[in-house]
A and B are shown apart, each in its own frame.
Chain A
Amino acid sequence: MKKPAEFYQRDLGRHPPAYAPIYKTSVARSPQYPLISLQNSASEITGPVFGHNDIDPIDNDLILNYAQPGEMPIGERIILHGRVLDENARPVPNTLVEIWQANAGGRYRHKKDTYLAPIDPNFGGCGRTMTDEDGYYYFRTVKPGAYPWRNFVNSWRPAHIHVSVFGTGFAQRLISQIYFECDPLIQTCPMVKSIPDAGAVDALIAKLDLNATIPLDSIAYKFDIVLRGRRSTLFENRLEGN
Chain B
Amino acid sequence: MPQQLNYLRETPSQTAGPYVHIGLAPGSAGFDIYREELGHDIAGPNAKGERIRVEGLVIDGTGSPIKDVLLETWQANADGIYAHPEHPGAVEDGFRGWGRVITDFNTGEWGFDTVKPGAVMGRNGQMMAPHINLWIVARGINIGLNTRIYFSDEETANTADPVMNIIEWEHRRQTLIARRSEPDGKAVYRFDVQIQGQNETVFFDI
Q: Which residues of A are at the interface with B, using a C-beta cutoff of 8 A? A: 1-2, 4, 10-12, 14-18, 20, 23, 25-33, 35-50, 54-56, 59, 65-66, 85-89, 96, 98-100, 108-113, 124-126, 128, 162, 164, 168, 170-171, 173-177, 191, 194-195, 197, 199-201, 203-204, 225-229
Contacts and interface: CB of A to CB of B under 8 A. Distances in A.
A54 B61 CA distance: 37
B90 to A, nearest CB: 14
Contacts of A171: 146, 206
Interface in B120-135: 120-123, 128, 131, 133, 135
Interface in B35-65: 35-36, 38, 60-62
A89 B30 contact: no
B138 interface: yes
A24 to B, nearest CB: 8
Contact of A203 (B12, B60, B83, B135): B12
18 contacts: A4-B87, A11-B10, A18-B142, A26-B142, A29-B139, A30-B196, A31-B195, A35-B204, A49-B84, A54-B36, A98-B23, A109-B22, A111-B30, A171-B146, A171-B206, A174-B144, A176-B14, A177-B14
Given A55-B34, A98-B24, A36 B204 contact: yes
A37 B121 CA distance: 19
A232 B70 CA distance: 33
Interface of B: 1, 6-24, 26, 29-31, 33-36, 38, 60-62, 66, 68, 72, 74, 76, 82-88, 96-98, 105, 120-123, 128, 131, 133, 135, 137-146, 148, 163, 166-167, 172, 195-197, 200-206
Contact of A23 (B6, B24, B142, B145): B142
A194 B195 contact: no
A29 B6 contact: no
A135 to B, nearest CB: 12
Contact of B7 (A88, A99, A111, A203): A88
Given A38-B205, A43-B133, A109-B29, A225 B142 contact: no
Given A42-B82, A203-B12, A100 B24 contact: yes
A46 B86 contact: yes
Contacts of A35: 146, 203-205
Nearest to B14: A177
Contact of B20 (A11, A33, A100, A124): A100
A162 B23 contact: yes
Nearest to B97: A48
Contact of B72 (A173, A191, A204): A173
Given A43-B131, A170-B133, 14 more contacts: A12-B205, A15-B143, A27-B140, A29-B60, A37-B204, A37-B205, A48-B97, A87-B7, A89-B7, A109-B22, A110-B19, A112-B68, A162-B16, A228-B10
Contacts of B61: 27-30, 32
Contact of A191 (B14, B29, B62, B128): B14
A17 B205 CA distance: 13
Contacts of A204: 11-12, 14
Contacts of B36: 54
B150 to A, nearest CB: 12
3 nearest interchain CB pairs?
A: A100-B23, A25-B140, A48-B98
A38 B142 contact: no
